[in-house]
Amino acid sequence: MAVEQARIHSIPKPWGRTDLRPWNAYHDPLAAIGEAWFERADPSAPLPTLLLKLIFTDEPLSIQVHPDEALAHSIGLVHDKCEAWYVLSATTTARIAVGLKEQLNRAQLRECIRDGTIVERVQWHVARAGDCTFVSPGTIHAIGAGLVLIEIQQRTDATFRLFDYGTRRELHTDMAVAAASALQSGRQTPPRKLTAARTLLVASPHFVLERMTLAPGVVRELDVAAETWLFILAGSGRVESIEIEAGSAVFLESEPACIEVGANRLQCLVAYARSVPAPYLLRRMNGMRMPDPARGPSRTSLRMESESISRAVPAGKAP
């Protein structure tokens, strides 16, 4: 059981930033930080299955792809890799890429990697604050410059590069071609309101990502049955004895936690290791499960909502 304030591990990257404020206190003109990983408070504690991190880009990242479960197992990895991005801030020209403009066979994809035209084949989209994007295994994707993202992913290094922007890092042509899915649309499911406080952003085979909004002064219990990460988007308050504010994160596992909201509305991301949304993630402090005050669904209707999401997201597919 655990309720811990996450510690931060900063990682330099050639495409990173020298000033991470306001999401992180780091600012040093001599070293560019690209990623800030949230880790458990005790470095010797068991590694979580999910990895939560901030990504800061002043330059574009590589175009890459992650393997599905079958390929991951064939090369000795424990599992595949999927991830989700939530945009915290974006410049007017910031873009992300998910999927291809048109389907390519393996020979065509290999040639596009060889001559660098893969840059023209990926499906670029304008990125805006509040956007959420799910990247399933096998989907070719990229993150452009001018972004601050929060990313939740399975904890693995299974990444194959198809193109890199000037850093001359190794490309992984054979593995990238093997990993890329024939279905390259990158289709996304829009956010779905679960309750007045909870909005479903992603339901994947390995994790669920929600945005949670609580009014000033509210006190609730977070009913945590699985590994869970809480990232604060706006507002302040407390999770048990831990002070929280925008940019901070809390790790929870197998232990209910009291959330007390401060003087302003609290908005946060909640990521947890389930394949469907937890029907009753929030409870009143008297232990009563909370109906939706906006629509008042019954226990049966919320269960049906969860089941409908499960049916809509078959294992290994993007929602």
- Pair 90, 144 in one domain: yes
Q: Is residue 317 part of a domain?
A: no
Q: Is residue 187 part of a domain?
A: no
Of the candidates 186, 185, 203, the one whose C-alpha atom is nearest the C-alpha of residue 194 is: 203
Helix ranges, the chain (H): 69-74, 106-115, 118-121, 173-179, 299-312
pLDDT value at 219 more than 70: yes
- Pair 32, 58 in one domain: yes
Greater pLDDT, 210 or 181: 210
- Pair 53, 167 in one domain: yes
- Pair 135, 218 in one domain: no
Separation of alpha carbons 208 and 134, rounded Å: 11
Give the pLDDT of residue 301. Answer: 42
Q: Which of 112, 146, 179 is the last residue of a domain?
A: 179
Q: Is residue 161 part of a domain?
A: yes
- Pair 199, 289 in one domain: yes
The whole domain housing 84 covers 2-179
Angle at 1 between CA 250 and CA 82, to 5 degrees: 55
Angle at 236 between CA 232 and CA 242, to 5 degrees: 80
What burial class does residue 300 get, using C-beta atoms within 10 Å of its C-beta: 0-12 exposed, 13-18 middle, 19+ buried?
Answer: exposed
Q: Which of 147, 179, 211 is the last residue of a domain?
A: 179
Q: Which of 145, 179, 213 is the last residue of a domain?
A: 179
Give the pLDDT of residue 294. Answer: 38
Average pLDDT in the 238-248 region?
97
Give the pLDDT of residue 167. Answer: 67
pLDDT value at 143 more than 90: yes
The pLDDT tens digits of the residues spanning 251-273 come to 999 888 999 999 999 999 999 99
Q: Is residue 184 part of a domain?
A: no
pLDDT value at 159 more than 60: yes
- Pair 213, 287 in one domain: yes
Parallel, antiparallel, or unpaired for β 249-253 and 2-5?
antiparallel
Q: Is residue 186 part of a domain?
A: no
Average pLDDT in the 236-262 region?
95
Q: Is residue 49 part of a domain?
A: yes
- Pair 111, 173 in one domain: yes
- Pair 140, 289 in one domain: no
Q: Residue 287: which pLDDT band, with cuts at 50, 70 and 90?
A: low
Q: Residue 183: which pLDDT band, with cuts at 50, 70 and 90?
A: low
Give the pLDDT of residue 298. Answer: 40
- Pair 27, 140 in one domain: yes
Q: Is residue 201 part of a domain?
A: yes
pLDDT value at 32 more than 70: yes
Give the pLDDT of residue 308. Answer: 42
Judge whether 150 and 86 are in contact, CB under 8 Å. Answer: yes
- Pair 130, 210 in one domain: no
Greater pLDDT, 1 or 152: 152
Q: Residue 291: which pLDDT band, with cuts at 50, 70 and 90?
A: very low
Q: Residue 75: which pLDDT band, with cuts at 50, 70 and 90?
A: confident
pLDDT value at 168 more than 90: no
Give the pLDDT of residue 309. Answer: 38
- Pair 150, 175 in one domain: yes
Q: How many domains does the chain have?
A: 2
Give the pLDDT of residue 295. Answer: 42
Q: Is residue 58 part of a domain?
A: yes
Q: Residue 292: which pLDDT band, with cuts at 50, 70 and 90?
A: very low
- Pair 170, 249 in one domain: no
**CATH number of the domain that 87 lies in?**
2.60.120.10
